[in-house]
Amino acid sequence: MTAKISIIGAGMTGSTTAHWLAEREIADLVLVDIVEGMPQGKALDMQEALPVIGKDVAVVGSNDYAATKGSDIVVITAGIPRKPGMSREDLLTTNANIVSAAVENTLKHSPDALFIVLTNPLDTMTYLAMKVGKLPRERIVGQAGILDSARMRAFVAMETGVSVENIQCYVLGGHGDEMVPLTSRSNIAGISLRDYLPADKLEAIVNRTRKGGGEIVNLLKTGSAYYAPSVAVAQMAEAILKDKHLIVAASAHMQGEYGLKDMFFGVPVQLGRGGVEKILEYKLEADEKAALEKSAAAVKESITVMQSLVKI
Ligand code: APR
């Protein structure tokens, strides 16, 4: 392979990202984690699976960032989940330190890499990574919108029985309970969901989408979702490496778009070899505009808290 993707954090989302990427045969892969032996073991297991599906991809696991040298893309999934007795601030501080170290260490070996961040709280961690790495906005994006939109698509398909291929959904805003499923834009084969579904059914889908992550956490009891988040990262990485100019919802640095400045926020972005090539601005319905403002306020608050806890 000529391209190389390094994934920092070889836990559930990190290793599953590697799995989806290996199947796509688009890059050699490196898994890095602090746990000794774990990334090596997972990488070797995956390497041994690839003959069965006929994919020529090198998968390496390491505890040393030197293995990431020359990466085109760095995916950051390293972090810890919230544990009993831990405040959100504790989580924010711990994950901020982990993400900062991951950015600094990977940049030493891959000064030109593009970054895709997955660690939560997503918009805040992506903002931090940008500042720590002094990255231009083209080179860093957070994964959330593809996942949230996919969840909504799945719920619409479950409700209507229509193929997921006919269902397009757009979920913007921060990756939290205030995210904004754009029901006016979301559609089934071109018919707005507002016309296709009764209002109460649509509202139930919107609410379930907003709480989609929590629904999985409650079911799993230990850990959070990983199949859907990781396949979303794989799609973003593929769009970048194949220079597809693919438009997806993702967390990008706002420089005046949607009236927002110097924060990360879920918006439609065009991804290609240069990373974030463009941010698209929708003309929004009044209710959607108000909802986005509320969501932006929540993200801004999280960034402010992070800035008070961590020096950047
Ligand atoms: N450097 C490298 N890896 C680290 C570090 C570090 N400093 N600190 C923790 N890790 C690793 C852990 O050892 C673990 O293997 O990060 C991995 C995280 O994996 P999981 O605990 O399985 O969590 P996961 O479900 O993958 O979620 C990771 O992504 O979706 C988000 O909310 C989620 O913030 C969380 C992140």
Domain shared by 187 and 272, yes or no: yes
Q: Read off φ and ψ for residue 145, nearest 5 degrees.
A: -65, -35
Active site members: 175
Is the CB of residue 78 below 6 angstroms from any atom belonging to ligand 1? yes
Q: Does the beta carbon of 12 lie inside 6 Å of ligand 1?
A: yes
Nearest CA, atom 10, ligand 1: 78
Q: Does 63 share its domain with 86?
A: yes
Residue 179's CATH number: 3.90.110.10
**Pocket test residue of 15, 17, 20, 77 for ligand 1, highest count of atoms within 8 A of CB:** 77
Domain final position from 142, 168, 191: 142
pTM over 0.95, yes/no: yes
- The residue segments making up the domain with residue 256 are 145-309
What pLDDT does 175 receive? 93
**Rounded distance between C-alpha atoms, residue 268 and residue 146, angstroms:** 10
Distance between CA atoms of residues 265 and 33, nearest Å: 28
Q: Judge contact between 152 and 205, C-beta under 8 A.
A: yes
pLDDT of residue 221: 87
Pairing of strands 171-172, 191-192: unpaired
Total domains in the chain come to 2
* Pairwise CA distance, residues 40 & 164, whole Å: 36
Distance separating alpha carbons of residues 46 and 190, to the nearest angstrom: 40
Are residues 159 and 283 part of one domain?
A: yes
Residue nearest atom 19 in ligand 1 by C-alpha distance: 11
Q: Are residues 275 and 215 in the same domain?
A: yes
Using 50, 70 and 90 to split pLDDT, how confident is the model at 89?
confident
Same domain, 70 and 189: no
Q: Is the CB of 224 under 6 A from ligand 1?
A: yes
Is residue 203 predicted with pLDDT exceeding 90? yes
Smallest Cα–Cα separation from 29: which of 50, 6, 1? 6
Task: State the pLDDT at residue 82.
Answer: 72
8/134 same-domain check: yes
* Residue 11 CA neighbour count, 13 Å, CB half: 17
| Domain closes at, from 114, 142, 170 | 142
CATH number for position 98: 3.40.50.720
Residue whose Cα lies nearest atom 2 of ligand 1: it is 33
79 CA from centroid of ligand 1 (Å): 4
Mean pLDDT lowest for which of 72-86, 136-150, 171-185?
72-86
Average pLDDT for residues 179-208, to the nearest whole number? 97
Query: What percent of the chain is predicted at pLDDT more than 90?
Result: 89
Whole-angstrom distance, CA of residue 244 vs CA of residue 44? 30
Residue written as token pair 């698209």? 280
Residue 72 Cβ contacting ligand 1 at under 6 Å: no
**Span from the CA of 3 to the centroid of ligand 1 (angstroms):** 24
Question: What confidence score (pLDDT) does residue 311 get?
Answer: 85
Q: Are residues 118 and 265 in the same domain?
A: no
Residues 137 and 164 in one domain: no
How far apart are the CA of 273 and the centre of ligand 1, in A? 27
Neighbours of 251 (CB within 10 A): 30
Q: Give me the chain's average pLDDT, please.
A: 95
Give 312's pLDDT tier (boundaries 50, 70, 90).
Answer: confident
Q: Predicted confidence band at 85 (pLDDT cuts at 50, 70, 90)?
A: confident
My answer on whether 161 and 132 are in the same domain is: no
190 Cβ partners below 8 Å, 6+ apart?
none
- Examine the fold and report which residue of 142, 171, 190 is the final residue of a domain before the chain moves on: 142
Tell me how far the alpha carbon of residue 118 lies from the centroid of ligand 1, in angstroms: 9
pLDDT digits (tens, 9 = 90+) for 279-310: 999 998 899 999 999 999 999 999 999 999 88
pLDDT higher than 80, residue 8: yes
- Give the pLDDT confidence of 24-62 residue by residue, as tens digits: 999 999 999 999 999 999 999 999 999 999 999 999 999
Give dist(CA 286, CA 13) in Å, integer: 36
* Cα of 102 from ligand 1 centre, angstroms: 11
Which residues touch 6 (CB under 8 Å, ≥6 apart)? 29, 30, 31, 32, 67, 68, 71, 73, 74, 75, 106, 110, 113
Strands (E), 105-186: 114-117, 140-142, 167-168, 171-172, 180-181
Q: In what order do the strands lie in the sheet with 4-8?
A: 59-62, 28-32, 4-8, 73-76, 114-117, 140-142, 246-255, 261-272, 275-279
